[in-house]
Amino acid sequence: MHDVIVGLILLSVAAASSLFSRLLPLAIPLPLIQIALGVAGSVGGLHVALDPDMFMLLFIPPLLFSDAFRMPTREFGELRGIIFALAVPLVLATTILCGYALHWLVPVLGLPLCFALAGVLSPTDAVAVGGMLGATVPRRIVHVLDGESLLNDASGLVCFRFAAAAAVTGAFSLHAALLTFGLLALGGIAIGIGVCYVAVRLDRFLLRRGYDDPPTQITFMLLLPFGAYLLAESVGCSGILAVVAGGMTAKLTGVLQETQITTRLQARTVWNMVNFIFNSIIFLLLGLQLPELAGNGIALARGAGTSPWLLLPVIVGIHLAMCVLRFGGLWIVLVLDALRGRAHGAMRWPALRAVLVGTVAGVRGAVTLAAVLSLPQAGAGFPFRDLLVTLATGVILVSLLMASLLLPWLVAGLDRGQGDPRGREVDWARLVLLRTIIRAMRDEQAALTARAGTRDEAAEMRVEIIARLMQEYENRLTQLQKDGDGPATEMQIRSIRRMRLELALRLTNLRASRIELRNLRSAQYVNDETETLLLQEMDYEEQVYRNRARTLPRVP
């Protein structure tokens, strides 16, 4: 089958998977549904050969760049100690301890091969983490997991690379490994910052001269992570860390805020689509590989004279060992952070359920699969290559299944009142902004009133508009303030209901306008270009109304 046809099929299935998940009576995570659809496609005759290098180049840079760009810099700075401890020391400890556990579970594998498998399984996957966590998870936990998964790929892949080389050559140098890790990490970060800094300076140069074309801006932004990744990989540094550093640098520069509003709106839409499509295709490709990988594992077990069913307890045992090590590492890191907080008068011991959420949410995914598939074939010094691939794939699936089954139950019992201050911060920011607007309008109203004798028709109109807008802003301010002042009064409830009714009528009018515009287009009174322009304006207007409706408090 032609590659273009395969790509179109994957896009179609990715789009249908979201609809299919809504039709199911059970709340099954979308990644598992997409993996199941991939398995069904493979059984049905759809085969896709997965090139690990091409896979890493096509999917990982834009997804990691987007995740890094969306990572809150304030929280990343506050949690940097926890994130770094999980991304480097925990990965190294997991590689060593889990390597010995693997050697005990599967004695036929030598220690270098066990370390290689443990190294490729030790880092969590940013793509898989983002696909498994829901909106109800406290933001502090989400930020820790996101930050960890952005940085731990480099340390895990370095461990994997050196262990795999030791399995082939029989030689290992700790000094060379540490030196290589430092060059790989620091070089990747420096290249990512440098590439992004140059791109930002060039973009600002173009913006000052009026070249703010949304398609051009968005295209350059989409190419930026690929440029950072390719340049870092070409000189032997970490392309993953280059992309992460580039995404954070792009955010810190604030260059996107200097573009026109059309560029910002379209860029958010494009990146949301890229995230959805690429995440979906990754899990579909994983499902497409499963039947072949499982078949190779079964054939390998039978060739060794053992039952294929013995692979399942081995895979579960590997995952449980990694969960125990991750739980212990998380607990130690959080306890140390709590002790550090006690020195500053803000001690907070880690909750057991929160540590369990962090343990279960440490799923493995695309990077693990691509790395283990990059191992040389059996004839190139890797006699147990198929077994390593089978075990790694099984652990990926078990981690996804375990997270999908346990995370909803674990998250339901978390105390989100203290762990998720984002809602209070958003409400506080709205109050500050509304007060600033009202204060500025009062100052302008006072200035216009002081010049009462010299006002013209435009000034009179401005006074009238300011009075009407001030009334609207003060109503919204009252509605926001009542959240912290106790229950709403009857007058406030009536005002909120009036606002909701007004917004509902505005949305009804917009729907009627769309129907009438469609009729005008069908009757050829307007052309399709006019229809598209007016529909876009209605979409923006509807988005404003819906955002305003979400800010209104709920009333009985």
Query: Model confidence over 376-418: pLDDT tens digits?
Result: 765 555 667 778 888 888 898 898 888 888 887 887 766 654 4
Query: Model confidence over 257-271: pLDDT tens digits?
Result: 777 777 877 888 898
Q: Give pLDDT, residue 454.
A: 60
Please check whether residues 473 and 507 belong to one and the same domain.
no
Please check whether residues 414 and 425 belong to one and the same domain.
no
Number of domains comprising the chain: 3
Evaluate whether residue 189 is within a structural domain. Answer: yes
Q: Give pLDDT, residue 196.
A: 93
Q: Give pLDDT, residue 530.
A: 79
Please check whether residues 157 and 178 belong to one and the same domain.
yes
Mean pLDDT of 145-167: 80
Q: Taking all residues of the chain, what is their mean pLDDT, rounded to a whole number?
A: 80
Please check whether residues 198 and 186 belong to one and the same domain.
yes
Query: Model confidence over 205-222: pLDDT tens digits?
Result: 888 887 878 888 889 999
In single-letter form, the type of residue at position 263 comes to: T
Please check whether residues 377 and 242 belong to one and the same domain.
yes
Could you tell me the residue range of the domain that residue 547 belongs to?
Answer: 500-556
Residue after which a domain boundary falls, among 367, 390, 420: 420
Q: Give pLDDT, residue 419.
A: 45
Mean pLDDT of 435-444: 81
Helices marked H in 212-253 = 214-234, 239-253
Please check whether residues 348 and 447 belong to one and the same domain.
no
Please check whether residues 451 and 304 belong to one and the same domain.
no
DSSP state of 480: H
Is the pLDDT assigned to residue 249 strictly greater than 80?
yes
Q: Give pLDDT, residue 503.
A: 79
Is the pLDDT assigned to residue 201 strictly greater than 80?
yes
Residue after which a domain boundary falls, among 379, 396, 420: 420
Mean pLDDT of 426-441: 75
Look at residue 329 and give its three-state secondary structure. helix
- The Cα–Cα gap between 183 and 231 comes to 14
Question: Tokens 């270009």, residue?
Answer: 529
Query: Model confidence over 512-552: pLDDT tens digits?
Result: 888 888 888 888 887 777 777 787 778 888 878 877 777 66
Q: Which two tokens stand for residue 234?
A: 């070409």
Q: Which two tokens stand for residue 237?
A: 């540094």
Evaluate whether residue 139 is within a structural domain. Answer: yes
CB 404 within 8 A of CB 29: yes
Burial 188-205 (b: 16+ CB within 10 A, else e): bbebbbbbbeebbeebee
Is the pLDDT assigned to residue 151 strictly greater than 60?
yes
Instruction: Using CA atoms of 166, 171, 175, 177 in order, give the dihedral in degrees to the nearest 10.
Output: -20
Please check whether residues 310 and 364 belong to one and the same domain.
yes
Please check whether residues 294 and 401 belong to one and the same domain.
yes
Is the pLDDT assigned to residue 229 strictly greater than 90?
yes
Distance of CA 359 to the CA centre of its chain: 18
Evaluate whether residue 491 is within a structural domain. Answer: no
- The Cα–Cα gap between 52 and 55 comes to 5
Please check whether residues 432 and 549 belong to one and the same domain.
no
Residue after which a domain boundary falls, among 486, 508, 532: 486
CA angle, 536 then 537 then 540, to 5°: 85
Evaluate whether residue 261 is within a structural domain. Answer: yes
Please check whether residues 184 and 270 belong to one and the same domain.
yes
Specify burial of residue 124 (Cβ count, 10 A radius: 0-12, 13-18, 19+).
Answer: buried
Evaluate whether residue 492 is within a structural domain. Answer: no
- The Cα–Cα gap between 107 and 125 comes to 28
In single-letter form, the type of residue at position 400 comes to: L
Is the pLDDT assigned to residue 352 strictly greater than 90?
no
- The Cα–Cα gap between 137 and 255 comes to 30
Q: Which two tokens stand for residue 171?
A: 């030689």
Evaluate whether residue 495 is within a structural domain. Answer: no
Please check whether residues 206 and 220 belong to one and the same domain.
yes
Evaluate whether residue 435 is within a structural domain. Answer: yes
DSSP state of 79: T
CB 60 within 8 A of CB 53: no
Give the residue from 128, 121, 75, 127 showing the smallest Cα distance to 101: 121
3 state SS for 143-187: HHHHHHHHHHHHHHHHHHHHHHHHHHHCCCCHHHHHHHHHHHHHH
Is the pLDDT assigned to residue 227 strictly greater than 90?
yes
Q: Which two tokens stand for residue 358?
A: 């962090």
Predicted TM-score (pTM) of this structure:
0.79
Mean pLDDT of 363-370: 80
**Residue 135 vs residue 142, higher pLDDT:** 142
Q: Give the CA distances from residue 335 to residues 256, 350, 352, 356, 361, in Å, rounded to whole numbers and listed in that order.
A: 38, 7, 11, 14, 19
Query: Model confidence over 39-77: pLDDT tens digits?
Result: 998 888 888 877 878 888 888 889 888 888 888 877 788
Specify burial of residue 319 (Cβ count, 10 A radius: 0-12, 13-18, 19+).
Answer: buried
Could you tell me what percent of the chain has a pLDDT over 70? 84
- The Cα–Cα gap between 16 and 160 comes to 36
Give the residue from 325, 295, 283, 285 showing the smallest Cα distance to 389: 295
Q: Which two tokens stand for residue 405?
A: 């089954």
CA angle, 337 then 338 then 341, to 5°: 90
Give the residue from 70, 72, 132, 64 showing the smallest Cα distance to 278: 64
The CATH number of the domain holding residue 343 is 1.20.1530.20
